[in-house]
Structures are given as C-alpha cells and as structure tokens.
Amino acid sequence: MSVLIVGAGFAGATTARCLAEAGHDVVLIDRRDHLAGNAFDRHDAAGVLIHEYGPHIFHTNSEKVFTWLSRFTDWRPYEHRVLARVGEQELPIPINRRTINALYGLDLDEAGVAAFLESRREPREPLRTSEDVVLNSVGSHLCDTFFRGYTRKQWGLELSELSAGVAARIPTRTNDDDRYFTDTFQAMPAEGYTRMFERMLDHPRICLRLGTDFEQVRHSLPRLFTVYTGPIDAYFGHCHGALPYRSLRFEHEHLPHTPRLQAVGTVNYPNDHAYTRITEFKHLTGQVHPGTSIVREYPCAEGEPYYPIPRPDNEALFKRYEALAEAEPDVHFLGRLAQYRYYNMDQVVASALALAQRLVLAYPLAEAGSPVAAEPA
C-alpha cells in the first residue's frame, strides 16, 4: 500500500525520496501546479531565472544536509549581501563597522565600534521579545533606524509583540563582515531549485500528482500512512480558530535595458515604501543577461500562508493543534506550515531526513515493495 505525502516543497520532497529509496511506494500531491513549494523558480518571459515566491538563498552548517542535496544538484558558490536604504545612504545589514561609521560619520576601528555599541545598548534581561533583543544589542536609535519600521511592515506587529527569535536571526557585528549569513555552506543550486526538485523526485516509486488538494484524496486514497506538510490548522478544519500566518504579495518586474539595478542581491527599505525589500535575481544566480529581473515584497495579512508568526499567543494556539496532531493515527506533520516554525530550507531538510528515518523503522517492509505494518483503522 502506498504512502501519501501532502506538499511537494522541501519537507514533502525530501521525505518522498527517502521513503521511496527505502522501498515505499509514494504518492506525492501538491495543490499547486508545480513542485518545489515556496522555493519554486522559473525563467520569466525575458528568460531570467526568478524565484516566484521571493528570494531563496541556501545556507547551512549541516554537512549532512548539504551532502544529501548535492546528490541532486551542482552548486554555484554565493554569499548573500544586503544593504539597507536609510535616507540617501545604503548601509550594510547586519549592522557592522561600516554601518556605524557611515551612519554616524565616524572612523572607528573594531574596538571603537564595540565601545560605541556598549554605550548605546540598553541591557535587557531576560530577552523575551524581539524588541528586547535589538535594544539589548544596539540601543534605540539603531533599533528605530533599521528594525522598527521594517518589522511593522513585515509582520503588522511591533517588535515588542514578536518572540525574541525573529530579530535574533540578524546578528550585530563590529568587524567588516558584510555577509548576511556566516554558515559553512553557502551556495545556490546551479540550475535552480526546481531542477534540483525534479531530480529528487525522479524515482520509479514516486508518483507525483500536481494540482491535487489533500481534501480531494483525504477520504478516498488508501494508504499506509500520511506525511502532511500543509498548514496544521487547515488539516483540522480550523477547529480551534485560524492559526495566523503572514502573507506577501510579490511584484515581479523585468527591466530590459538595465543590466544591473543594485549593488547587492537585496536592498532593504526599513522606513520607506510599502514593500520591505527589492531583490535582483542575477546576483543570486550569476546569470548573464542584458536586462535584469527584480521582485518587491509587500507584506499582507491575507493570502498564501508564508510565515508562521512567532509570538506567545500563536505558539499556545499551535500547541492545541499539535496535541490533536499527536493523537492522529498514522499522520505525521512536517515542515514550516505543519510544525508552525520559522524554519529555513536546510532546517526543513534536516527535519525531513530525521522523520523519514523514524518512519522507515516504524513501518518496516517485509521485502522491497510490500509493507508489513497493519493498515490504519
């Protein structure tokens, strides 16, 4: 009997491949008409490779994850850099030595920047909210300049209403390192994410059914077990109320006569405009093209669920759904939407590899292709 996997993003595709290689027949569905979930990329009308659902930059400290994905793609080394537009200036974010010197007209060395930040920071204990995190490390002026407006736009909430982990994603530096991430492995799939997913799912035991919603097969498809990677509240018919997810509207644009629009991959707009950031894809992909393609991200409340919103109320509501999930026989909840975690791609892959390993043990095969586990009641 087959296994049903709902969602063909990183969570579902990774699990599908592992289970197929262990001998399970897998039916992998996605309600969208493409695979790769939010990492889906494609060539736009002008032929530039773009990320449909906003910029996806791969980075990880996990050799295991990087090695596993490397079976399905070559890589192009890429270290992401971000500038924040503040007035007429474009300043490195995360805040580093250059940010401080350029913003305040100073010429501090590393020790000078450390002393400057020490004089500005507003120590907080414990670090409960994102406001605590930012004030504790850089104080209120830098918080107002780089974090308050951006956060209000991105989440529709104040920094003080978000859990500490949100702002803690962005470090503060006293040196000149202007990379957005410092992970050991930083690279983009050489032919894009979609191509990598195509190879991952190219296995005789995987049957891919795009354009298929879980509700269409929920009560009709016989299966040994289910791996569900959609929103957890939707699975339970929102019985405890809707779990808040933040959405985005993506405004894609091709500029035919502009070989390069901005100095780095992403420019953030903490204080101006309704969008949070502009990303220029050619930086990420290294593609050579006479024009360029960009995306602006407009955060919004309604629409596709992209981000779980990390704050205590929501975590409490998620726990109620998680309790239902734990009692659901032979259904396993995985990924950013089903686990309601602000996961990066590599964390989802790590989580999927671990779940697949547990499932292979929990549902043993007598011989290749014939599961011995009992059918669900």
Q: Which residues bind ligand FAD (CB under 6 A)?
A: 6-12, 29-32, 37-39, 53-57, 213-214, 229-230, 248, 306, 335-337, 343-346, 348
Partner touching 166 among ligand FAD, ligand UDP, none, CB below 5 to 8 Å by kind: ligand UDP
Partner touching 147 among ligand FAD, ligand UDP, none, CB below 5 to 8 Å by kind: ligand UDP
Min dist CB 354 to ligand FAD, Å, is 14
Question: 146 vs 235, which CB is nearer to ligand UDP?
Answer: 146
What DSSP character marks residue 125? Answer: S
For 317, phi then psi, to 5°, come to -65, -40
**What 3-state DSSP class applies to 295?**
strand
Question: 124 vs 341, which CB is nearer to ligand FAD?
Answer: 341
Partner touching 224 among ligand UDP, ligand FAD, none, CB below 5 to 8 Å by kind: none
Question: 32 vs 336, which CB is nearer to ligand UDP?
Answer: 336
**What 3-state DSSP class applies to 89?**
strand
What CA–CA distance (Å, rounded) separates 252 from 261?
A: 14
Residue 205 near residue 124 (C-beta atoms within 8 A): no
Min dist CB 138 to ligand UDP, Å, is 11
Min dist CB 150 to ligand UDP, Å, is 4
Min dist CB 306 to ligand UDP, Å, is 9
> Which residues here bind ligand UDP, judged by CB under 6 A?
84, 93, 146-147, 150-151, 154, 166-167, 169-170, 268, 270
Of 47, 85, 1, 14, give the one whose Cα is nearest residue 355: 14
Six token digits for residue 129? 């909210």
B/e letters for 239-270, b = 16+ CB within 10 Å, e = fewer, are eeeebbbbebebebebeeeeeebbebbbbbbb
B/e letters for 106-142, b = 16+ CB within 10 Å, e = fewer, are eebeeeebeebbeebbeebeebebbbbbbbbbbbeeb
Question: 91 vs 243, which CB is nearer to ligand UDP?
Answer: 91
Min dist CB 42 to ligand UDP, Å, is 20
